[in-house]
Amino acid sequence: MSLRALLGQVLGCDNAKGATAHFWAQRLSGIGTLIAGLWFIFSILGIPGFGYADALAFITTPLNGVMLLLLVVVMAYHSNLGVQVVVEDYVHGHGLKLTALILSRFAHMFLAVAAVYAIIKIGLGV
């Protein structure tokens, strides 16, 4: 197996089966983003104020903290899938496409981990 085939499997762009799985992953993560996003909107509307203490109280509530974690992870995953489609469709140079896909994946992972870390740190009061 060549390095190109292995990299294609890692990036999820190796064959038609991967395209179908990508399609369904994007649709299901979109539904998850919609549900978690609606929860977030309605929860934010229920906060008595928008000060720092109110935000801390909101995040330290266990259900809110878990739902925020879910929202961040699902949104990062959905965003990664969407950016991957855009790069695959509109970037034509192979090296540039591969570089953009790798940088996009790392950027999404970095931002998701940073957000999860922040939510956990605030939620635990550390």
Residue with tokens 């790798």: 102
Cβ-count burial 40-77 (b if 16+ within 10 Å, e if not): beeeeeeeeeeeeeeeeebbeeeebbebbbbbbbbbbb
Which tokens sit at 94?
Answer: 């192979």
CATH of 26-124, one of 1.10.1060.10, 1.20.1300.10, 1.10.3720.10, 3.10.620.30: 1.20.1300.10
Structure confidence at residue 126 (pLDDT): 73
pLDDT of residue 80 exceeding 70 = yes
DSSP state of 12: T
Q: How large is the average pLDDT for residues 28-35?
A: 96
**pLDDT (average), residues 62-75:** 96
pLDDT at 13: 58
Q: Is residue 5 very low, low, confident or very high in pLDDT (cuts 50, 70, 90)?
A: low
Q: Span 64-93, mean pLDDT?
A: 95
pLDDT-derived band of residue 76, with 50, 70 and 90 as boundaries? very high
**Dist CA 7 CA 40 (whole Å):** 36
pTM: 0.82
pLDDT at 42: 95
Instruction: Return the domain boundaries, the chain.
Output: 26-124
